[in-house]
Amino acid sequence: MEAVSDNFATDQTPTKRLERIFSLQKKAFLSHPYPSAAQRIELMERIPEMLRKNREKILAALHEDFGGHSEKQGDLVEILGMFDRAKYNIANVKKWMKPLKKEVNPVTLGSSKAFLKYHPKGVVGNMVSWNFPFDIGLGPTLDLLAAGNRVIIKPSDLSPACGKVLEEMISETFDEDQVAVVNGGLDLAIHFPSLKWDHLVYTGSGAVGRKVMKAAAENLVPVTLELGGKSPAIVHTDSVTDETVRDIAGVKVVKRGQMCVTVDYCLVPASRLDVFTDKMIAHFQANFAEGNCAEHACGIITDRHMKRLQSLVDEAVDAGVEVTQIGENVAGGSRNMPFYIVKNPPRDLGLMKEEIFGPILPIIPYDDTSDAIRFVNADDKPLGLYIFSGNQNFTDTISEQTQSGGVAVNIAALQAAQPSLPFGGIGESGMGLHHGIEAFREFSNPRGYFIKGKGGTFDAITPPYGSATEHLIHDVAYAPMGKQILFALKRLPGDLWKRMFT
């Protein structure tokens, strides 16, 4: 009872609770800094079962926070995706943990050995964005557990129902000193990156990402930042088809465009602009107009975000741009904003200068391949780049002459859903990686090991220096190649023998 009382006293605010758990995890890590593969696997195995057990609560929380959320979309992206990531990490973590042999020079080092071994970093913070509260809360956590770390998750205060469910699930599934969730508002968000984490993961806007990185830099904390950006879909003449339109539209509908790797805008051949735009409008009208797409998408996260998005649409309309609305005007407190197809907006409009992050799809004409490349490269480097083409030369030219966090061909966004592929940005779209072995390495400390063996020239290269040192420097290192080869041939047989049998 006394311990419970002490915890209650220290947990009067979210920041105090964070500090207590942080201290608890730091102490726990020092007592057990290198968990076995079996221990890591057992921890990761808990997450799929936890999600199965709490499926109804998760779907209800998504519905509450977003003012409506497709159950199928909730299942597919927030729950089932974690099954695949857990399965992949569990199947591979033993292999990832094996030491990596490094080359040594047998002439000078004899039978000595060198290898790299990945050690856990320690206690890692995961700052989660509101658009995928469970996927981003638990996906990096699976990677962090695979690397042997302890984790504290901070959900976004814009998705409080999801944050509450995440905290309840985690507290029922893990000990506090292994994985914990701390919910809170602005004070917690400001305080969270200021701690002396061993690593910090942040997913969200670039503006906040800069603040997070600045706070982390005060303690020299390494960061992984996933920040989004304006990800283009570049369509070749041969791919102005119903299939391309369907694939782009389907990705845009996920989370009603509130997804960091969604298609922000389309680049299509100028000669096919009208055809492509008409196809896109027809597809949206046929599939996503009824009920403002409530069956397939979610609501806009807040009224403030609705107003920002509506202002982008209004600015385009006021500028005389052709804007087609798919669905009805929002009424009665609903946040199921209609979709908008915007044809050839000028580059100085807000929707072409900032990441849209909503149900607005600009379609821009280009004249030739170099024109499309110039258009993409004039913006910051995006998180995703999508090429729709059956022409390999076009695909190679676009991908090789642009930069992005990831690339997908003839589909969009799925590069971010593959457990085996690294996911992350470049430049303004972020830094660092998660997913798969790249995440394991990102969240590990790669320690180099050197083990002295028999043979070699150790006596010559360490003080006190003598005639052997003089010989090594002047008669070998600075000698002509022939003398160096002769020196190696004299030493190699014995050193190789020692390497083989010691």
CA 319 vs CA 105, 312, 323, 345, 347: distances in Å: 69, 11, 10, 9, 12
pLDDT score of 275 more than 80 = yes
pLDDT, tens digit, for every residue of 126-161?
999 999 999 999 999 999 999 999 999 999 999 999
Sorting pLDDT into bands at 50, 70 and 90, what band is 5? Answer: very low
Which is higher by pLDDT, 107 or 330?
Answer: 330
Q: Do residue 192 and residue 340 come from a single domain?
A: no
Q: Do residue 43 and residue 67 come from a single domain?
A: yes
| Catalytic annotation present for 266 | no
Give, for 386, the enclosing helix (H) or strand (E): strand 384-388
pLDDT of residue 206: 93
Q: Do residue 62 and residue 126 come from a single domain?
A: yes
pLDDT, tens digit, for every residue of 402-425?
999 999 999 999 999 999 999 999
Q: Do residue 179 and residue 315 come from a single domain?
A: no
Q: Do residue 336 and residue 393 come from a single domain?
A: yes
pLDDT of residue 493: 59
pLDDT score of 224 more than 90 = yes
237-260 mean pLDDT? 98
Q: Do residue 223 and residue 330 come from a single domain?
A: no
Q: Do residue 221 and residue 268 come from a single domain?
A: no
pLDDT of residue 8: 43
| Catalytic annotation present for 2 | no
Q: Do residue 158 and residue 31 come from a single domain?
A: yes
377-404 mean pLDDT? 97
211 in a structural domain: yes
Alpha helices by DSSP H, listed for 55-205, are 55-66, 71-73, 81-97, 106-109, 135-146, 160-173, 186-191
pLDDT of residue 366: 98
202-208 mean pLDDT? 95
pLDDT, tens digit, for every residue of 24-83?
999 999 999 999 999 999 999 999 999 999 999 999 999 999 999 999 999 999 999 999
403-407, 433-437, 481-485: least confident range? 481-485
pLDDT score of 500 more than 50 = no
pLDDT of residue 218: 97
pLDDT score of 175 more than 90 = yes
Longest dimension (CA), the chain: 92
CA 452 vs CA 115, 117, 152, 297, 446: distances in Å: 12, 17, 40, 61, 20
Question: Coil, strand or helix: which one is 152?
Answer: strand
Sorting pLDDT into bands at 50, 70 and 90, what band is 501? Answer: very low
pLDDT of residue 441: 98
CB-facing half-sphere around the CA of 426: CA atoms within 13 A:
14
CA distance 63 to 161: 9
Q: What single DSSP character describes residue 99?
A: P
Query: With left for phi above 0 and alpha for psi between -120 and 50, is residue 435 left, alpha or beta?
Result: left
Which neighbouring-strand residues pair with 101? 115
User: What CATH number has the domain bearing residue 358?
Assistant: 3.40.309.10
Q: Do residue 267 and residue 405 come from a single domain?
A: yes
With tokens 């809170």, the residue in question is 184
pLDDT score of 452 more than 90 = yes
pLDDT of residue 460: 85
86 in a structural domain: yes
Which is higher by pLDDT, 192 or 111?
Answer: 192
User: What CATH number has the domain bearing residue 59?
Assistant: 3.40.605.10
Q: Do residue 71 and residue 89 come from a single domain?
A: yes
CA 304 vs CA 144, 209, 263, 294, 335: distances in Å: 34, 20, 22, 20, 11
The domain tally of the chain equals 3
Among the listed residues 154, 138, 150, 151, the one whose alpha carbon sits nearest the alpha carbon of residue 191 = 154
End-to-end Cα, the chain, rounded Å: 58
pLDDT score of 353 more than 70 = yes
Q: Do residue 212 and residue 241 come from a single domain?
A: no
Sorting pLDDT into bands at 50, 70 and 90, what band is 12? Answer: confident
pLDDT of residue 359: 98
Which neighbouring-strand residues pair with 362? 342
Residue type for position 443: F
pLDDT, tens digit, for every residue of 298-328?
999 999 999 999 999 999 999 999 999 999 9
DSSP string, 398-434: HHHSS--SEEEESSSSGGGG-TTS-B---GGGEE--B
Q: What is the mean pLDDT of the chain?
A: 94
Alpha helices by DSSP H, listed for 12-80, are 14-31, 37-53, 55-66, 71-73
6 in a structural domain: no
7-19 mean pLDDT? 79
Among the listed residues 25, 17, 24, 218, the one whose alpha carbon sits nearest the alpha carbon of residue 121 = 25
Q: What single DSSP character describes residue 112?
A: -
474-491 mean pLDDT? 78
Question: Coil, strand or helix: which one is 481?
Answer: helix
Sorting pLDDT into bands at 50, 70 and 90, what band is 494? Answer: low
pLDDT score of 457 more than 90 = no
297 in a structural domain: yes
147 in a structural domain: yes
Q: Is 228 exposed, middle or buried (0-12, 13-18, 19+ CB in 10 A)?
A: buried
In the set 78, 176, 226, 442, the catalytic residue is 226
Q: Do residue 405 and residue 477 come from a single domain?
A: no
Among the listed residues 180, 149, 176, the one whose alpha carbon sits nearest the alpha carbon of residue 40 = 149
Among the listed residues 151, 138, 178, 157, the one whose alpha carbon sits nearest the alpha carbon of residue 47 = 138
2 in a structural domain: no
273-282 mean pLDDT? 98
pLDDT of residue 285: 98
pLDDT, tens digit, for every residue of 34-45?
999 999 999 999
256 in a structural domain: yes
pLDDT of residue 471: 83
Alpha helices by DSSP H, listed for 200-349, are 206-217, 242-253, 273-288, 303-318
317 in a structural domain: yes
Sorting pLDDT into bands at 50, 70 and 90, what band is 10? Answer: low
In the set 78, 162, 176, 260, the catalytic residue is 260
Domain holding 206, by residue range, is 11-96+105-227+438-446
CA 258 and chain centroid, separation: 16
CA distance 99 to 104: 15
Please state, for a pLDDT cut of 70, what percent of the chain lies above it. Answer: 95
